[in-house]
Amino acid sequence: LREVEARLQADAAGGSTLLKNLVIRLEDARILEDVAGMRKRLSQLKTINGDLLREHEIRMNSSRELAATLKELNVGVRYASRLRVGRASTNAVARCRTAIQNEDPKSLILALQNG
């Protein structure tokens, strides 16, 4: 998910740069009273703006899904820690957190099962 987020942010940065350039070209066309150029730039602006809005929506949905998934994982870790007492509980939580940070599902399953 982190890789997807980084790629989406890079795409958005490129789109916003293109958007800025189109606004400058639109302003130039307005100053030169180039109506055809203005229409062309406005059409391009609408297209790019729509693309940026869709990308933003995708990022927001991805972020929501990530938050929901992490909450579910946290509930599982909490249940695993409640099955144990004292140091074993602390160790289980630490191993689960390490597995989540390392994005290692096998060690997460082992940590949940064995503590």
Burial class of residue 46 (count of CB atoms within 10 Å of its CB; 0-12, 13-18, 19+)? exposed
Looking at the domain assignment, is residue 74 inside a domain? no
pLDDT score of 63: 83
Contacts of 15 (CB under 8 A, 6+ apart): 48, 51, 52, 55
Question: Is 94 domain-assigned?
Answer: no
Is residue 22 situated within a structural domain?
yes
In a domain, 103, yes or no: no
Per-residue pLDDT tens for 31-68?
Answer: 998 999 999 999 999 998 898 888 889 888 988 998 89
Residue 8 has pLDDT above 90, yes or no: no
Segments in 32-84 forming alpha helices (H): 35-82
Q: Give the CATH number, domain containing residue 28.
A: 1.20.58
In total, how many domains does the chain have?
1
Residue % of the chain over a pLDDT of 90? 20
pTM recorded for the entire structure = 0.65
With contact defined as beta carbons under 8 Å apart, do 20 and 52 qualify?
Answer: no
Domain membership of residue 48 as a residue range: 2-67
